[in-house]
Structure 1
């Protein structure tokens, strides 16, 4: 039914059923949106019918609600038919597996002779019927029963699947490990995010407290200034009121027309004026003056470090670990000062003698000058800072107790964690000749981090699983022409 009228209900522009159909003067029907869009693409003043090219200078059309209702009804019928067809297809798809199962149990026939497949040709590796055995295609071939052939190839398939099973197991383990790493990463990020939020909450609270204290101090200063100025204003107003009263009395005397009355009252009034003048302090005959109480701008308006940073220094300041160098662990060429806070090389003559008499090392047994701290750590969080030269080839960090006495890089592998001067040159190529390195050790967490203590920038972080004492570690290569220099920062 719908197909019979579909051509009459179809727009010739969008080739679909009408939506809000309109008719032009020439009698052709289109969707309102289609004809409007078509005219937009045409040149202005040259609009025409897309079907017959009849001119439409004013772009006029008439809507037809009846035709629109017919098109809407036809569309609903089409959609219902589509839904019914989809249901039929779904039912057919549900029946296909059943047919496939039924077909799988049907007997298999030879494509050449049409007989049942009874044997297996091991030469061509194909199933055959009894007539194929005597055919020219299988002359000289060997045969077996279908059961034996299937058993043979099951064994081959089982052996071929073994690497795949191993691969699946390996990938399953990798998938599990990767998921665990992703979960660990999320947990680590959440923990670090919580730590950051907690630290900055403390800083924000400290800043809010500092702000409140400064505002309170400003309010107190303002109240004191207001009190003094208000008191002075009250004195001025009282003096003004008294002066106005005296002035009014004087003008009243002046206004008396009777000379006798004027003269009788003038002498007491002039005496009152003289007595008031005598009681007024010198310099205040005319006015009390203006009292100016200003707030101190330096207390409340100045550099940020004075307004906020210095009072909050205890919040930002990192407690430095009291580190001393252990002379017992120092290389013979190194000298530790009396208080154990700095290290340098022995006099030049001694060094030349040492370099001339020591054996030439290879790259794997390169000699290094090392020294450890006196105190080892087996728990807790610790932070210390070291000052050294940027030009030297140094290595600063931590080492295990088992690294004590090791003098070559090969023996120190997997026993030390640190940072070398190359990182400082990469991060601060134009930096000062001396640098200050911060070392942070979190024993239980297995974290060792290094910072440029001059600007607070992060240089490097390493992870480890500590199971023995950890000591501050300082290293200098023996072949460096520059004298080593390390100094422990005390504050």
Structure 2
């Protein structure tokens, strides 16, 4: 392999320079470690990672394997002496071997720069790039330079072929003109092939997406079937118990013996014990929403906290409504003055902070295909460009979200959640002293989604992230 060809094989496709600390992906493509790490960091917010060369996707961040053989090849290439690319010498430099720079078709000679200047004054001589072989560049019949192209016969010809040879009278073209015309013909073909390749890529992606969707649907169906059979088993066990109790009751009615009366009293005592245990369990529940759901199935008795948005924290791509309850995306910057509280990312905090006590508020997310809401500490970084400042992507915030999937996130750890219906409104309950943050789906009946437990030590705020073409609203 020529030195230039080997040099091309040792270039990273991202930085276009020689590999530095080369690593490999699972698909087999290689990159500089720093280059691929930066590329994967940029893809993290989307939740899907892909190879920059072949675009093979992975839901998990791919592992990087050090390519020791490639690293050794690069090291040897850098330490080896340069190889002379040209071994063609000037035909006219008799006393010494001087490298040639150009060749002449008519003379079938190669020249250094000094002889080239004199040779360039010759009329009708064709100066070409340096070559060691002139075969194929001259007519095999007339030994003249091939300057024309005959479209009739599809052949490159010399002037004698055209004037007096087999191609006499044909409508011929200069080679450069014919070359440009052929390239013009090939361009639509190339574009069509590129379009077909892109369509094939899209079909592969759609098939993979369909496979993933079917796999997720099957898993959800399996979970539902398992739940149905579990519920059926519990109902059968309950029915069996009731039948057995009825048999016992009838037996007790038939027999008026003292032993039967004692047995009835013991059964009554057991029922009282169960009820006492259930009531004591309810009294030990620290989350009022869970207690009310268990007790009466209705959280409407909870008094809503008055939560408004703090415009001084809002990113300039967010529009805040006049009543300070809605946050919507805009592509036009709002040009608000910068300050220590304002976010660089598309986030906004509530004006009210929480340092103790219990709070409850509700958020309408029905106008957002993607949404990210939760609670964050006052010390959350606000001037960071990356997703490490997003709600839930650090240890200072807790979030419920729908991006690529539905789930909860804290300290950048994602927990997938399942809902039987689309979540359009969310109830949020914060118990600061108990260290509980609970999320509820506002439907009929109200459904508990997820609860975080933590030891809160700083001021907390209601936090919201706004995606493009989306709007969220704090409900009154």
- TM-score band w.r.t. shorter chain: 0.3 to 0.5
When the two structures are superposed, what TM-score results if normalisation uses the length of structure 2? 0.32
Bigger proportion of residues as strand: 2
When the two structures are superposed, what TM-score results if normalisation uses the length of structure 1? 0.31
